[in-house]
Amino acid sequence: MLLLAVTAAILIASCDSSKKDETPVIGKPEIKINSDRMTPEVLWSFGRVTEPAISPDNQAILFGITYYDIAQNKGNRELYSMPVAGGEITRLTTTPKGENNAIWRPDGKKIGFVYIDDNDVPQIWEMNPDGSGRIRISAVPEGVTGFSYAPDQQKILYTSEVKLDSTAQDINKDLPLSTGKIFSDLMYRHWDSWVETYSHIFIADYDGKQINNPIDIMKDEKWESPIRPFGGMEQITWSPDSKSVVYASRKKQGKEYAVSTNSDLYQYQLETGKTTNLTVGMNGYDLNPVFSPDGSKLAWECMERDGYESDKIRLFVMDVASKEKTDYSANFDQNAERLAWGDDNTIWFISDYQATDDIYKLLLSTKEITGLTKGIHNFTGVFPAGDKLIATQVSMSKPAEIYAVDPATGAESQLTFVNKETLDQLALGEVRQRWVKTTDNKQMHVWMIYPPHFDSTKKYPALLYCEGGPQSTVSQFWSYRWNFQMMAANDYIIVAPNRRGLPGFGREWNEQISGDYGGQNMKDYLTAIDALSKEPYIDANRLGAVGASYGGFSVFWLAGNHQKRFKAFIAHDGMFNLEAQYLETEEMWFVNWDLGGPFWDKTNAIAQRTYSTSPHKYVQNWDTPILVIHGANDYRIAFTQGMSAFNAAILRGVPAEFLYFPDENHWVLKPQNGILWQRTFYRWLDRWLK
């Protein structure tokens, strides 16, 4: 039995108004656990630590922690600080609406952040480093989605949504209550929202108290920065001299936007108002620019090929004066992400190798790349702080915490212990690595996660975990939905293969999957479960297969081709009918590259092979119970895919359930929906596997 009690609610007044906000503050839950097993409620009680921001003097760490309240069905982020050397954590905010985009002002005397004002519009606020003196410094009618200070503090850059298209209601002013939308080109919706505004960059004067005289540097242009749907302020950076801004943008519209991943880096000069394309002729994604401390070099993450969203992420550096560009990762068969300059000769970054994400170092003078850390974990970000590195780390057994890392030795020490009290009360399953020989005589990495208090003399049901992406490594991630410790706590052994089509095992391994969805990677899945279900503690008569997105596609495909291996399936947001998927998704570059192109092109052998292996073409073989889950706001894989699969199962006489969320997208983000997801997931598995 688990008892959860939220700490006493605190009501606050908005700092620029006498108006009271009666929303209860969400605080850290008080948890008493009478069982040492993970439950959905425990999973949603963990504090979620955000990325740290290092103070300009390298002495303090600013970070956020988000807690969720199940009864209120929402979360709230508060801000905290602590010394870089470790020690006492100071809570800076206690508010009901949550602070975002928290950063240090360049002089270190203020902390800036985005917070909702009394009109429910996000604005820029500032406070002293101890949390006092909180005041709003912007009044942007459309609201602020992100911001950053110029290094000289004379300007503030912010992003805001701009409406540039006329709606049906604008044109038909006598029909103000109509809800129709009229479109004449593609990319009219993206991921989980309709494309009705564009994120633009504004630069405003800043006098230390307020921002004034904002200029839209992308005025009247129907493209955006950051790039939707996931781009943030990491895609925009100031030059160290405060004279220019470099930002990423895909300056295309309509069909051209929908079929291309070709984004570029643009430099805007404040003095002249001139914008220059720095990466013209470079055809893939160019993202996340960062200047060297002296401003002489610009580094960024760069993909080579247009239309391939999972291309190798290369580490490019440009000499600002000569504009000469160098690929420093040309001989490095891994991705390079989350770039951070140390000194002018050193770049730190994160890279995945064989299913763990670690910190790497590039020395520009020698072009040498070396790994710094190694372990059963994922580092998710690295932030230089004087003579040490500050980093965030997760694993399959622990949510994110902040660590200090020695840049010479890689020795790490944990600085925050936000979830220690909860974790200390739980028995967690052991995580082991295995290698399995595939049908084409290659070695495949597999994670196995065992139940708490595992007894090798007993037999357990096992779950084959099918990864999404499709090009997304089964690394040491921590998930609040696909949580392996949650699965293990229900007495399942998890078999999680790094099948063909995943990064971290070389470019050839990653790229094999494109155009071969029903091919080698499916053989890899069956090889993994066949080999590991022979272990004496796994009951080969009680096997299930589960997965989301491409993992959901995999489950649908396996349902028609598993030859009685499995006794239960769960598919979340999966592709069922690839021909329908081609015309239902909004990101056409993805289906053009990974499926091979349109299904009507009979001359395209790759495309025709892909569509011939669509899961819906094997539905006549379905004979195993299946749970289908889908969200209505998922536009990458429309909910009709899940609905079609469920309908097919029922018409075939196969036991099936359909869990449908009208208010969720490709994920499940609301607490009560998340708990419903978990309960339905395990009730289904227990019904058929126990």
**Residues in the chain, overall count:** 690
Would you say residue 19 has pLDDT above 70?
A: no
Handedness of CA 159, 165, 168, 170 (dihedral sign): positive
Predicted pLDDT at 7: 29
Closest CA to 257 of 338, 190, 207, 305: 190
Give the residue-averaged pLDDT of 621-629. 98
111-168 pLDDT, tens digit per residue, is 999 999 999 999 999 999 999 999 999 999 999 999 999 999 999 999 999 999 999 9
Catalytic residue among 472, 572, 634, 644, which? Answer: 634
Q: How does residue 419 score in pLDDT terms, banded at 50, 70 and 90?
A: very high
Q: Tokens 């044109």 belong to which residue?
A: 171
pTM attached to this predicted model: 0.95
Dig out the tokens for 94 from the structure: 């206690």
Strand order in the sheet with 236-238: 236-238, 244-249, 264-269, 275-277
Kindly tell me the sign of the dihedral angle through the C-alpha atoms of 77, 82, 84, 87: negative
Cβ neighbours for 417, distance < 8 A, ≥ 6 positions apart:
401
Give the percent of the chain with pLDDT over 70: 97
pLDDT at 22: 61
- Residue tagged 């564009």 (tokens): 198
Nearest to 427 by CA among 389, 397, 385, 462: 397
Residue pair 684/570 in contact (Cβ under 8 Å)? The answer is: yes
For the segment 491-507, what is each residue's pLDDT rounded down to a tens digit? 999 999 999 999 999 99
What average pLDDT is seen over the chain? 95
pLDDT at 62 over 60: yes
How far, in Å, are 96, 391, 514 from residue 348 at the CA level? Answer: 36, 11, 31
| Interval 652-662: pLDDT, tens | 999 999 999 99
Side chain identity at 301, as an amino acid letter?
E
Compute the radius of gyration of the chain from its Cα atoms.
25
Give the chain's count of helices (H) and strands (E).
Answer: 13, 43
425-452: per-residue pLDDT in tens?
A: 999 999 999 999 999 999 999 999 999 9
Instruction: Tell me what the mean pLDDT of segment 512-536 comes to.
Output: 98
Check residue 10 and give its pLDDT.
25
| Cβ-based neighbour number of residue 103 at 10 Å | 17
Phi/psi zone of residue 274: left (φ > 0), alpha (ψ -120 to 50 degrees), beta?
beta
Task: Name the 3-class secondary structure at 481.
Answer: coil
Task: Give which of 351, 354, 512 is closest to 435, Cα–Cα.
Answer: 354
Q: Check the CA dihedral 251-255-256-257 and report its sign.
A: positive
pLDDT digits (tens, 9 = 90+) for 23-46: 778 888 776 777 899 999 999 999
Instruction: Tell me the DSSP string of 510-532.
Output: HHTTTT-TTTHHHHHHHHHHHHH
For the cut 80, the answer to whether the pLDDT of residue 8 exceeds it is no
Closest by CA position to 506, among listed 334, 350, 355: 334
Q: Name the helix (H) or strand (E) containing 390.
A: strand 388-395
- Residues 388, 430: Cα–Cα separation, whole Å: 31
Residue 634 is a catalytic residue: yes
- Give the mean pLDDT of 611-633: 98
For residue 298, the model assigns a pLDDT of 98
pLDDT at 139: 97
Residue type, 374: K
CB distance 528 to 499 below 8 Å: yes
**What was the pLDDT predicted at 17?**
38
Separation between Cα atoms, residue 190 and residue 211, nearest integer Å: 32
Please state the rounded mean pLDDT for residues 574-603.
98
Q: What is the pLDDT of residue 28?
A: 82
Q: Which of 675, 540, 559, 561 shows the shortest CA–CA distance to 627?
A: 559
Q: If you average pLDDT over residues 287-292, what whole number do you get?
A: 98
pLDDT surpasses 70 at 16: no
Please report the pLDDT score of residue 23 as a whole number. 73
Q: From the candidates 549, 554, 614, 644, which is the catalytic residue?
A: 549
* 549 is an active site residue: yes
Q: What's residue 29's pLDDT?
A: 77
Backbone CA torsion sign across 286, 287, 290, 291 = positive
Continuous segment of H or E residues that includes residue 550: helix 550-559
For the chain, list the domains and their CATH numbers: 429-689 (3.40.50.1820)
